[in-house]
Amino acid sequence: MNRDVFVYLSGPITAKHGYTVEENVAAAVKVYLECLRRGIPAFCPHLSGAFPSAFNVDYETWIAYDFAVIERCTHVMMLPRWETSAGAVREKAHAEALGCAVVHSLDELS
């Protein structure tokens, strides 16, 4: 396992633009598992926030949580369709403000 990187996966969760929450989570988990297969430690917020309506946690609390995790990461990977997610747009801006590397593919990490 590569101990020099810790990657935050940023992409849509909320059902929008013809995609369900389940489809968005499945897409993120696919990348997360590929990270593990390649020995790249990663954090997949889709696993902790896949069903936000099931919890009494407001949106800004989720974003604050995401930002706290990003502050501990070396990279933020933007998942497909990230531009359609207000949260992912904010996560990218936060990462860039911190000077955290922003990538768009696993190959950029290798």
Count the domains in the chain: 1
- Quick check: is 2 in a domain? no
Note down the domain range covering 59: 7-109
Contacts of 16 (CB under 8 A, 6+ apart): 84, 85
pLDDT (tens place) for every residue of the chain, 110 residues total: 999 999 999 999 888 888 898 899 999 999 999 999 999 999 999 998 666 666 688 889 989 999 999 999 999 999 999 999 999 999 999 999 999 999 999 999 87
Instruction: Find the CATH number of the domain harbouring 48.
Output: 3.40.50.10400
**pLDDT value of residue 48:** 81
Cβ neighbours, 10 Å, residue 59: 11
3, two tokens = 């101990």
pTM given for the model: 0.92
Residue 31 lies in a domain: yes
Place of tokens 């949580």: 65
Q: What is the pLDDT of residue 31?
A: 97
Which DSSP letter does residue 71 get? Answer: T
